[in-house]
Amino acid sequence: MAAGLGVLGLAPHVFWTMTPREFDAALRGRIGNGVQMPAPSRADLAALMQQFPDA
């Protein structure tokens, strides 16, 4: 909320009606991409898939 209301200066009704994707795009437009995390390796992805299988 601090980022939406403070950094972006959004009105509360605008903040609460934004989708997460819209909020992310607005925040990236204001402060940039920042640090980007590398994509997970195949081994990491396989471990996650084993730990959290689809039902």
Question: What confidence score (pLDDT) does residue 33 get?
Answer: 77
Give the separation between CA 15 and CA 34, rounded to whole angstroms: 21
Question: What confidence score (pLDDT) does residue 39 get?
Answer: 84
Q: Read off φ and ψ for residue 20, nearest 5 degrees.
A: -55, -35
Q: What is the largest CA-CA distance in the chain?
A: 44
pLDDT in tens, the chain (55 residues): 889 999 899 999 999 999 999 998 999 888 887 666 688 899 999 999 999 999 7
Whole-Å CA distances, 1 to 8, 14, 15, 46, 54? 10, 12, 8, 34, 32
Q: Where are the domains of the chain?
A: 1-32
Question: What confidence score (pLDDT) does residue 34 get?
Answer: 67
- Residue pair 3/28 in contact by the 8 Å Cβ criterion: no
